[in-house]
Amino acid sequence: MRALIFPGQGSQTVGMGKDFFDAYAPAKQVFQEVDDTLSPLYGKALSSIIFDGPDDVLTQTLYTQAALMTTSMAMLKVIEAEKGQSVSDFASYAAGHSLGEYTALCAAGVLSLSDTAKLLYHRGKAMTECTPKDGGAMAAIMGLDFDDVWELTEDSGSYVANDNGGGQIVISGTKEAIEKAIQIATDKGAKRAIPLAVSAPFHCPLMKDAATVMAKEIAQVTFSEPKIPVVTNVTGEAVSDSETLKQGLIDQICGQVRWRESVLFMERVGISKTLEIGPGKVLTNLVKRISPNIQTANIAKTEDISTAFGE
């Protein structure tokens, strides 16, 4: 069985998806629909930022989230067209890391492309605007097990944000709490404890105002039953109920991304291969470290399609 996985913030790169746009009509249609949806909100075409940058604009949370989703969905629509199959024909599950869960829901038919784009615009805007006065911070802790990191977050007043597996755990909180946590992690023997270049402390209670905003936005959108189950960030397990999926998007704003648990769940239910759709190989590399028995492939360029499906 195959699972589709979709990347989160950090995988973006200027020019991503341009080869799909240039070569395939289904990709053009995705970029055009998102441009039509979001141009009145951005005041410009998102595709121009994706293809031409500049990088310091694309990396702004306000743009990054919708940009990554759009690129992944453009690639997915090309795959469907080239194979002459729908997602449910070549995948048994879908999952995404943080904003990638929105892409997974769009891929699974839970959300329309236009609604997904609008929700990610509001998500990026809300997460940017609710940043605490000191800006907040995040850090990656490598070489400690989960229990040790959980203990140091309690001692420092920080929070576990992403359990990425493979010895990598991301923490979130105020700048003071993260500085303290980095020192504790170093004292505990962490291989590395480094601050991340982010604009806000994502996936922790400091984002509660953003969760309130998103609850209102999500309530206005139609959620359909998924064509394939979606493994959600907050549960680390598959969900097939649209109402539960809806609540999961609200909860993940402040909640932990349980990526390690998600991959282990996929292994338990018999997933033999993951296919990462989108720029980079971040999730592919994490899967390899968490579950070496699962085969991996990624599609970031047009030439990757035939290789990824073993053709």
Q: What is the pLDDT of residue 135?
A: 76
Question: Catalytic pick from 11, 158, 203, 262?
Answer: 203
Q: What is the pLDDT of residue 21?
A: 98
Q: What is the pLDDT of residue 308?
A: 87
Question: Catalytic pick from 98, 156, 158, 172?
Answer: 98
> pLDDT per residue over 54-103, tens digit each?
999 999 999 999 999 999 999 999 999 999 999 999 999 999 999 999 99
Q: Is 98 a catalytic residue?
A: yes
Q: What is the pLDDT of residue 309?
A: 83
Count, in order, helices (H) and strands (E) of the chain.
15, 10
What CA–CA distance (Å, rounded) separates 305 from 303?
A: 6
Is the pLDDT reported for residue 243 higher than 60?
Answer: yes
Quick one: pLDDT band at residue 142, thresholds 50, 70, 90?
A: very high
Two structure tokens written together for 24: 């395939």
Q: Is 203 a catalytic residue?
A: yes
Q: Which of 4, 7, 2 is nearest to 162 (CA)?
A: 7
- Residue pair 277/298 in contact by the 8 Å Cβ criterion: yes
Q: What is the pLDDT of residue 130?
A: 86
What residues pair up with 299 in beta bridges, in sequence order? 277
What is the pTM for the complete model shown? 0.96
